[in-house]
Amino acid sequence: MTEIDRIVREIKSLKPISTISYKVMEIMSDPTSSLDELVGVIKYDQATTANLLRICNSSYFGLRKEIASVKQAVAYLGVEKVACLVAMVNSGENFRDAQAGYDLDEGDLWRYSVSSALIAQDLAEKYRIANPAEVFTAALLKDIGKVILSTHVRESFDAIMREVEEEGLTFLEAERKVIGMDHAELGARVAEYWNFAPPLVDIIRDHHRPDRARPNDLSIPIVYLADSICMMSGIGGGSDGLAYRYYRDVVDRLKFSEMDLQMTIINFQEKLKGIEELIKLAQGDE
Amino acid sequence: MDIVVGVADMKVSNDPDAALITYSLGSCIGVAIYDPVATVGGLLHYMLPDSKIDGRKAQRNPCIFGDTGIPLLFKEAYKIGAQKNRLKVIVAGGAQILDQTGLFNIGKRNYTLVRKIFWKNNVMVDFEDVGGSVNRTLRLEIKTGEAWLKISGIGLKKI
């Protein structure tokens, strides 16, 4: 068995995706499904419903009215946002632990994941893309490969850093060169193992390589952009730092200006307090 | 006791038991100042250079921007006894994504801004660690003025 085979086998050690997350993803990807179906599926999962309502009533959303049911949550926040929140309250478990290889303390990877997913959600809205919940979920889970690769990165850290510092490789390229596998590719394998829809797998695989996206695809560029903004803003970043490439063509394709960049950073900062609360509530402790 | 300076945040202190710390600077800049005679320290973590982009937000939180946050840091430190001519000044952060061609060059712009303000106001920088593509954490002990820089993945060094 090769080293890569051994790494891929570790995918099985991850906590499985909850049934409700699958159901919600299925409903969201089926244009013929109804709003009532979504409400019905969530309603019968008590833990998810309780977490969802707590989050809806948190300061992040700042709603004046108390949300008391899933139906109300959908009415106030919309189907897409509620679907995103369901993904969020059911995904925390795999992301909570410290990841020593990436120098991330307990909770850092989760904070980073939620933050970049929320930025991606805002961008998805700005660009009016057809599948915002998918973009959110992809941004949330894109670093799942790090959870497995962390121990391997730790063992080879000096060699990886040499490639980054002396050869000018990105952290991702260095992972691949030294370990034979990078966290994005591994994340895509996890997504396949979890039977995620192909577009979701593609976003996870190419979240650092938006140049590989099809010319009319905005999902990968948006998740890439959200990730880059998160890196710059210093939200629980780790040892890979900002050692990823800037793809000017991709940013140009989105017609994303420097003003847009700065305003996104400011708006995100203003929401930070609410986001911290949201992250705590969505940790999935209960 | 560590007092955490968040993103777009600033703290000053003269409590000898306290240390000011700011995590994961990314493209943001951390400015630490310390007066050894008054044992007063201050730490700012700003995200963007120029408040002209949104004056209202700068009013609400001047620490988002360097041009409003840096003067505020000094003023607040003066209020509790610091004096400009005694200040030790540290600058850290301003990292960038690789292959900078312009748009994502916030780190460099943040750094240029702090140099410009210090130049105009005759402030000497005693130590700086900026640029590259690494995450930095900066910590300042009030009692001793000792400062520590942690580069994520590389390690901790005393400044």
A261·B53 Cβ contact <8 A: no
- What pLDDT is stored for residue B153 in this prediction? 83
Measured between CA atoms, how close is A70 to chain B, in angstroms?
A: 34
CB pairs < 8 Å spanning A and B: 122
Burial class of residue A211, CB neighbours in 10 A (0-12, 13-18, 19+): middle
Mean pLDDT, chain A, integer: 92
pLDDT number for residue A12: 94
Q: Cβ of B48 and A265 within 8 Å?
A: yes
Answer yes or no: do A248 and B133 touch at CB < 8 A. Answer: no
Closest chain A CA to residue B54: A263
DSSP state of A244: S
In whole angstroms, how far apart are CA A114 and each of A137, A203, B147? 10, 16, 31
What ipTM is given for this predicted complex?
Answer: 0.92
Instruction: Kindly list the domain boundaries of chain B, sorted by start residue.
Output: 2-158
Token pair of B107, please?
A: 């780190």
The predicted pLDDT at position A237 comes to 83
Q: Which of residues 32-91 of A touch B (CB under 8 A)?
A: none
Using a CB–CB cutoff of 8 Å, tell me whether A19 touches chain B. no
In the block, tokens 């700086």 appear at B128
Return the closest-CA partner of residue A114 out of A79, A141, A76. A141
Chain A CB contacts of B150 under 8 Å are none
B35: its two tokens: 């007066």
Residue A284: pLDDT over 70: no
Q: What percent of chain A has pLDDT over 70?
A: 99
> Cβ distance B25 to B138 under 8 Å?
yes
Ranges for all domains in chain A classified under CATH 1.10.3210.10: 96-281
User: Does residue B57 have a pLDDT over 80?
Assistant: yes
Tell me: pLDDT of B122 over 80: yes
Residue A286 has pLDDT above 50, yes or no: no
Q: What percent of chain B has pLDDT over 90?
A: 89
User: Is the pLDDT assigned to residue B17 strictly greater than 60?
Assistant: yes
- Name the residue of chain B whose CA is nearest to A251's CA: B103
Positive or negative torsion for Cα A263, A266, A271, A275: positive
Amino acid at B101: T
- What pLDDT sits at residue A282? 73
Whether residues B106 and A262 touch (CB distance < 8 A) is answered with yes
Q: Is the pLDDT of residue A64 over 90?
A: no
Residue B83 pLDDT greater than 70, yes or no: yes
Judged by CB atoms within 8 Å, which residues 166-205 of A form the interface with B? 168, 170
Q: Do B152 and A232 touch (CB under 8 A)?
A: no
Name the residue among B12, B5, B1 with its Cα closest to residue B93.
Answer: B5
> Chain A: nearest CA to B56, how far in angstroms?
11
Chain A interface, best mutation among B4, B24, B29, B99, by max A CB count within 10 A: B24
Q: Could you tell me which chain A residue has the CA closest to the CA of B131?
A: A242
CA B51 to chain centre: 16
pTM confidence score: 0.94
CATH code that applies to domain B2-158: 3.30.1330.200
The confidence score (pLDDT) of residue A59 equals: 87
- Res. A155: pLDDT tops 60: yes
- Of A201-205, B99-103, B133-137, where does mean pLDDT reach its minimum? B99-103
Please determine, for residue A285, whether its predicted confidence score (pLDDT) is greater than 60. no
* pLDDT band at residue A236 under the 50/70/90 scheme: confident
Chain A CB contacts of B102 under 8 Å are 248, 258
For residue B100, the model assigns a pLDDT of: 65
Distance of CA A162 to the CA centre of its chain: 28
For A143-170, what is the mean pLDDT? 95
CB atoms within 10 A of CB A254: 17
Which residue's structure tokens are 């410009």?
A: B116
Q: Is B154 on the interface with A (CB under 8 A)?
A: yes
Q: B159 and B90 in contact (C-beta within 8 Å)?
A: yes
Is 80 exceeded by the pLDDT of residue A1? no
* Confidence (pLDDT) at A272: 84
Res B104: pLDDT: 79
Inform me whether the C-beta atom of residue B59 falls under 8 Å from chain A C-beta atoms: no
Place of tokens 């999902």: A219
Catalytic status, residue B63: no
Q: Determine the pLDDT at residue A277.
A: 85
Interface of B with A in 4-43 (CB under 8 A): 6-8, 23-28
Q: Which of B28, B44, B63, B159 is catalytic?
A: B28
Test A234 with B54 for CB contact under 8 angstroms: no
Residue A135: its pLDDT value, please?
95
Q: Which CATH architecture has domain A96-281?
A: Orthogonal Bundle (1.10)
Task: Determine whether the interchain pair A262/B154 forms a contact, defined as Cβ–Cβ distance below 8 Å.
Answer: no
Which positions in chain B touch A248 (Cβ < 8 Å)? 101-103
B135 touches chain A (CB under 8 A): yes
Q: Of A7-11, A26-30, A258-262, B101-105, which gets the smallest average pLDDT?
A: B101-105
CB contact under 8 A, A234 and B7: yes
The yes-or-no verdict on residue B42 having pLDDT over 60 is yes
